[in-house]
Every structure is written in structure tokens, then in C-alpha cells.
Structure 1
Amino acid sequence: MAASTKSVKDDESKSKHEQYCYIEATVTTGFENVAQEDVKEKTGCDVIARRGGIVIHLPVSGVRQVLNLGSIDNLRVRVNHETNFDFPDEEVACIRKLRQYVGKVDWSLGLEIWQQFYYFDQPVLVPTTIPADLGDPVLTDYAASIRARNEPKRKKRCTYRKKKSRRMETEICIEKDSEDTRIKIDVESSSLKETKNEELLGNISMETVEVELKNSLPCKTGHQMEIGNGNSPPPIGNSCPEEKKKINSHDPSKPSFRVTCIRNGEHSFDSMKAAANFGGAIHNLFGWNVDMKNYDIEVVLVIDGQELSVCIALTKESLHKRNLTHFGTTTLRPTIAYNMLRLCKIQKGDVVCDPMCGSGSIPIQAAVSWPEAYHIAGEISQKALPRTVDNVTCLNEKRRQDGKPCIQVETFRWNVYNLPLKSNLVDVFITDLVELDPRQTTGNCTRVPLQKWLELPS
């Protein structure tokens, strides 16, 4: 009895020293309560359901277990959270306050958790001293600057298209013979018309024709055109100068990052200004490399009214792509399929059937999460059913490499109006009732609307 009491006290003291964190997970809107039950059942942690997501409070040592949840799409660790940030009314004051807030964030906890999901060959350290000034606010209209930056490219493309269309509509070939010079003109119909040079040109000299023809063709730097058998015109200059390449210094010893802002509510600034200024302050603090595409760390700035959260993303793509490799036109997201399956309360030994399986999203997710049930799937489409088989094959190959048991899904080709199943054989029917475009179907391969499905005899 005494030993048991001592063990309990040891566990309590250990739990007091255990470091906890908040993980924000995105969930398909409408399934927040289902995901909340899923997390409580599998982890036993405290969960708060919010619109479009859930917030999980769990120990740092058990963060990676959230990857096994089938109901969530994306994960990020909450580094700092302010329930009342009190944004000023002036734009400059808001941006300056956001930049200064970077120095107050507890980056060490977020980077420690990030390193459980990703590997960087150099240590990612937090500066010991925070500079008093993290940069002045930048109030550039980024949307307008991007449009202005792309304007020369757009004009260049438009000019090239006009010249190309002019060249295609009117193609002039000048030929000189010993007797006379004829000019061939191709106008839209691609038919060549031959007329005498004197009748067409009148008093216009050949030099004038050459100059006009030269101006109608697209310019190429360092390219010299030759027209007819006459002398070549002078080389065309750089009328379309090449863009100057931007040279950015890249420090390979430091990770690259980007900032994404998710904003909801009325504020005196837009999301791009908030993300750019917050990212500029992070760059001044850490010296990390800025890369919007090939980034190592993604900092997520969530602003909802007067509420502010600073997070570090733990996933670079949605987790719904874990089990599928072949997608169709109406493939259901496996995370939605999982939440639907949880509503069915599948028990051990149940026969679960998806009579219109499509690419197999529902039966594959059911076989992964409820392996003790028997799963069958059917489809009439000649393209969809092989896609289901390919998805099962690819997933089993991946599971064999990971040392996991293969899943079992029986596939059949049938018509849903006449299922070849015995009465009372299936315990759970679940499917995605979506009508397809008749042009995308073969024969009578159309999905059944919900009303007709309910009218079918049992």
C-alpha cells in the first residue's frame, strides 16, 4: 500500500514538471465536435473546439502522437497567445506594435517542438539578447507593388502577342527575279496572293518596305535580320532589355522561413502588411533566410478581432494526402471520410460497405482506422474502380516498408440499383452521395441522389 502511494506521488511530481504546449489543428467545418471526441478518446488531453479547428493541450513529449489522428488536416504549435492585443486605430502604430511583439515571443518552445517534426543540419538557436529596435514599419501597398512589378512583363507579353499576331495575319515575302519583283501577302485565310510589285507598292521604294517589315517583326537582342537579297539592315538594338537579377545573400547555416497571416475582423492594416512587417522583424532578430516557396520554417500569424496568436507550422501539406495517391474528379478528402466513419460507430466484426466508392477514399480510411471490421466497396465506373485498387496497392506497399500490416478491402464492380448482396449482410452502409456529370460517366454509371437512395427497397 505504501509502495503504491509512493508511485502515485512520483507520477504527480513528474506531471508537475512536465512541459505542456498548445497544438492548433484545422478541421473541416462541421466536424469540430467529432474531432474533439477523437482526440479525447485517443490522447485523453483537454481539447477546445473552435470554428474550423481544435486546440489541444498536451505534453511536449507526446506531440507527435497527433499525427495519428485521422480527423485533422494541418497542425501548428501555438507559441504565444494574446486574448486582447488591443490594436491601435492608426496603421503605423499597429504595425510598429506587431514588430515589437516579435521580441516578446517565446520562440524556444516552438522551435523545440518544430525540431521533433523536421531536421535541420545546424542548430536553430534563439538570440540571448533581444534588440531594442526590430525595424521601422513598412507601409508599402504590397498588392499594388506586385502589380507594378509584373507590369513590365505584362506589357512585354502583350507587345509580343501583338507582333506575333500581326506577323501571322500578314506574312510578306519579297522575292527578286531577273524580270520583276513580286510580293506575296498572306491574310488570315493562309492563301497566297501574287501581285506585281508596281501595282501594290506604287511609288514606294524597296527601302521603305524593308523598314516597315523590320518594325513589324519581334525584336531579338543581338539578332540581325536579312530581307531579300539586298543589304542587311543594321543590327537591332536592345529594345527589350533583360531584367536585372536580384542577388540575395543566403546563409546556409541558418534556416529559411516565411510568415503567413490569417486575419479575421476589421483592422487598419491588411494581411500582407502584417505578414511582411512581422517577417521583417523576425529576420532582424534571427537573421534567417527569407524564402516564400522552399522554406524550412513557416510562422503563422493568426489575428481574430483583438485576439492574436503566433504559431509555427508542423505540417507543410494537408494530412489528408497520407493514404491516397490516385485521385479522381470527385475524390472525397480522407479526413472528411474519417469523420463520417466515426459517426457510424463501427464495431469489431462489422461489415462496412461503400456501394459507390469512387477512388476508395471511404473504404481505405475505414480499413486503416478500423482493421477489425470487414470492408467491401463497389463501383460501376470503368475508371474509378481501378483507381481504388491502385490506392490500396500503393498504401499496402508503403505500410510494408514501415513494418505495418496491410489493409484488406474487397472491391466489386456492380450497379448500385441492383446490389448482389444478401439481406442483412451489411452492418454499415456509408457513401459519398454526389451526382456526376453524365458526360463523365459510362452507360448508366451515375451516382444516386439522396432522395432516390432513400426510396430504394431494403
Structure 2
Amino acid sequence: MCEPLNLEGFKGLTDDGLCTIEASCATGFEPVVLEEVKELLDCDGRVHRGRVIFDIPIQKARETLKLRTVNNIWVLVGHTHQFVYPESSEEQLVSLADFADKLSWEKSLEVWKDVLNFEGTIYKDEETEKDNLESNPKKPRLEDMPSFRCSCYRTGTNHKFKSTEAQISVGGRIHDKFGWNVKMKDYNMEVVINCDVDQVYVAIALTNKSLFYRTLTQLGQLALKPTLAASLVKLAKVEPGEVVLDPMCGGGSIPLEGALLNTGAFFLGGEINAEGAKRCRTNMTGVTSVHTEIKYPPLMDCFQGDAVNPCFKDGCIDVIVTDLPFGRRSGSKADNRVLYPRTMNALARLVRPDTGRAILLTQDKASMFKTFNQINKYWKLSRFFGVNIGGLKGLVFLFNRTADLYVPKAPKVKKIKS
């Protein structure tokens, strides 16, 4: 778990018309998520490490699923910064269960039910349950009630219990309170209890499956998560009518997510590997059939091509957005020291002078820093910042195209001895 939540100024836990949302993202991209929350939902939020917190009217909670830069979403049930842990592990577990039991669950459950379109019964009907018990003693619970699991995330040294023990204790109390079925897989609802040194809060997941790969029908070995791809495109500040190229697109996450952001720009993906280009095409053509909420063909296309020898005329591309090779699972960092400058200089010919820009993600920061002196005629570094991607610490670089026209280097001519 990350640092404690700062809920000062948020009213979602006390205002009947609002709910407080926690949305997670890759560390480093929090400002991008905050910007999307403001643009899409018209909500002001607060950045925490790896997540963003914001209030939203309960009738608009379902719209949080339209966010393209977040991984998971929760609605908060209750929170305290003044939790005192007793001495023994048994007492601590009872205190956590008591805390969850005494919370007001009604509003958060209604939000969950609406967002996930659950059509069953949330609250047990004692009379119906009594009749059900008499007719079938082995089946005391209603069939249409949700199944759930409880998860626990904790940090700090003052916990004398294990996360699994907290899950059992709190989950058991929730089961007694609502009568829901306990199910570890294929459940309807996930209840999460987060424990810090003196902070405890309970939340309900609005995304039982991570949004990592929601637009991909085929995954490759090095597929970039669509939520990261959407974040990179948001950083590019793409304008309507612009042409955006990912010259190393792999499975096509960047052009696909870019097109689904409805920027009015056209997105192209290039991939040198034939299987990768085929996978990209499959993902692009399959998005409207697998995801029925997408009612229009996105503005995108892909091709098989070499980033070092691009097949486009000069100045026809406005923006480059790409995930450069890390040199870990594919290639090597020694290869990158040659590939990076060659690629950037080759792309300089395609990108419009003065107004063009490039957003690059890489874990091989050493190779990129060594590239600067070889590309500074055509590319000016605007800024860079660190990100954490699945435990890998990478950097995102934002370059602006200089006004210099691209001049290809004259080929070396070997002198022939007479």
C-alpha cells in the first residue's frame, strides 16, 4: 500500500449525493490521470503515489469506467486516520472486523450495483431466508445475492496479524452482516481493507478485472498495457487532424488507445516483425466486435515497416509516441545504443519541423542519455520523468522537433587505391 490517504476537503463519505473514488495507475503517471479525471468527469482530485482520489456525484459514478489511463477503480466505504491497534493479534483482528461492521455501506453498495449492473439482491430478507431454511436447510442463502471475496493490503510494523488472517476475520464479519456467498474466484464483488500504521479504510472494487488489457484481443510477449499507452498519448497533447505514428507498435496498444481517446487525430502503427504486425491488425479489427460499447471504426491503421528506414515522405507526421525497446526480454542495451540515435534521426525526417514532437518511454535510460549529442540538431529535450512499470523503473522523455530541416548524411565512399 502507498502513503496514507489525504481526504481533507473530500465529502464523499459524508455527503449523500457524492461518493469518493480511488483510481490506481502506474507510478509517475498520476498527473496524467488527474488531468483526464478533470477533462472527462469534471472532478477535482488529489494525487497520491500510484493513485488519484476524487469525489463524484453518485449518478455519474459509472462514467469512471470511461477513464483510459487508470488500472483499477474503487469506491470508498469508510476511512479513519485514528485507528488504534490493540496489543494481541486476536484483538487487532476483532477491531478491524468491528470497524468494517459499523460502517455505513448503503451508498457504496448502491454505487457498486449501478456501475457493475448487478441485478440481484444485495440485502438479505430475513423472512425469505427463514422460508428458504425451512424448505432447504442445506441452502440457507438466497441464490440471487452477490458472491464476494475480501482482500487485505497492509504496511507498517505494528500489525501482529497476517493479511490472510485479516481477510478471514473481516470477510467473515461481512458474511454475517449481509449473508453474501464467499467465493475466491469469479466473484461478483471484491471488498478491500487497507491497513497502515494508524490509517484503515474499506473500499469496494468497481473493476473486478484490471483495465490493463481491456482493448487487446491478442497479447504479445512485449505488449504495452493499454492504460500506459493512453497515458503516453495524453502527454502528447494530440490535436484534431494530426497524424500520430508509433514506429515500434508491437500489438498496437498506442495507436489503438490513441484512436479510442477520440482526439480527432489519425493514428498509425508500424512494426518490423511480421507476427507483430499481424497481431496489431487483429487487435485493431477486433476491438469493435469484442467491445460492443465501441460503435464506430476508430481512426487508425497499421503496417509492417522498419523504424530506421521509414517509408513516408518528409514532414508528414505530427507526433511520435512509442515504447522503445528496453533491452531486457528482447535485444540488448548494446543494441539500443546504436538503435536509439539511428531511429531518432530517421524519424526526424518524417516529423514536421518546429511543431513536431515525440513522447518516448524506455527503461534503458543510459542509452537514451548517450543519444542526446547525436540527435540534438533535430530534437530538443523538453522534460523527462520517472515511472514504475511492473517493477521496472523507466523514464518518459518529451522531445520537441527543432526548426532544422532534415539533411541526410552523405554515404561514406571508400577510396580505391590506384
Assess same fold via TM > 0.5.
yes
Report the counterpart of residue 60 of structure 1 in structure 2: 58
Report the counterpart of residue 225 of structure 2 in structure 1: 333
Displacement of 1:287 in angstroms is: 2.1
Q: Distance in 2 between matches of 1:34 and 1:372?
A: 19
Query: Aligned to 1:105, which of 103, 106, 114?
Result: 103
Number of residue-to-residue matches in the alignment: 321
Q: Larger deviation: 111-120 or 298-307?
A: 111-120
Q: Verify: 1:434 aligned to 2:325, yes or no.
A: yes
Query: Aligned to 1:317, which of 209, 213, 224?
Result: 209
Displacement of 1:393 in angstroms is: 0.7
Query: Aligned to 1:298, which of 185, 190, 203?
Result: 190
Q: Distance in 1 between matches of 2:122 and 2:41?
A: 29
Displacement of 1:317 in angstroms is: 0.6
Q: Verify: 1:382 aligned to 2:382, yes or no.
A: no
Q: Distance in 1 between matches of 2:59 and 2:304?
A: 47
Task: Say if 1:402 and 1:275 are closer, same or farther in 2 by CA, change over 3 A.
Answer: closer
Displacement of 1:248 in angstroms is: 8.8
- On the 8 A contact 1:434/1:449 being kept in 2, the answer is no
TM-score when scaled to structure 2?
0.71
TM-score when scaled to structure 1?
0.65
Q: Distance in 1 between matches of 2:139 and 2:162?
A: 26
List runs of 5+ in structure 2 lacking aligned partners. 1-13, 127-137, 349-418
- On the 8 A contact 1:24/1:77 being kept in 2, the answer is yes
Q: Distance in 1 between matches of 2:163 and 2:111?
A: 26
Q: Verify: 1:124 aligned to 2:122, yes or no.
A: yes
Q: Distance in 2 between matches of 1:272 and 1:17?
A: 33
Report the counterpart of residue 296 of structure 2 in structure 1: 405
List runs of 5+ in structure 1 lacking aligned partners. 1-15, 129-246
Q: Distance in 1 between matches of 2:282 and 2:79?
A: 44
Report which of the two has the higher share of helix.
Answer: 1
Displacement of 1:51 in angstroms is: 1.1
Q: Distance in 2 between matches of 1:281 and 1:355?
A: 53
CA RMSD of aligned residues (A): 2.8
SS in 1 for 2:274: coil
Report the counterpart of residue 259 of structure 2 in structure 1: 367
What residue identity is the alignment partner of 1:416?
Answer: A
Q: Distance in 1 between matches of 2:306 and 2:91?
A: 65
Report the counterpart of residue 71 of structure 2 in structure 1: 73
- On the 8 A contact 2:216/2:253 being kept in 1, the answer is yes
- On the 8 A contact 2:325/2:331 being kept in 1, the answer is no
Query: Aligned to 1:392, which of 256, 268, 284?
Result: 284
What residue identity is the alignment partner of 1:77?
Answer: V
Identity over aligned residues, as a percent?
Answer: 34
- Equivalences for 1:50-199 in 2 at 5 Å? 50-125=48-123
Report the counterpart of residue 30 of structure 1 in structure 2: 28
Q: Distance in 2 between matches of 1:271 and 1:18?
A: 32
SS in 2 for 1:383: helix
- On the 8 A contact 2:220/2:251 being kept in 1, the answer is yes
Query: Aligned to 1:358, which of 222, 234, 250?
Result: 250
Q: Verify: 1:348 aligned to 2:346, yes or no.
A: no
Displacement of 1:455 in angstroms is: 5.4
Larger RCO of the pair (alpha carbons < 8 Å, separation 6+): 1
SS in 1 for 2:254: helix
- On the 8 A contact 1:48/1:54 being kept in 2, the answer is yes
Displacement of 1:291 in angstroms is: 1.3
Displacement of 1:250 in angstroms is: 5.8
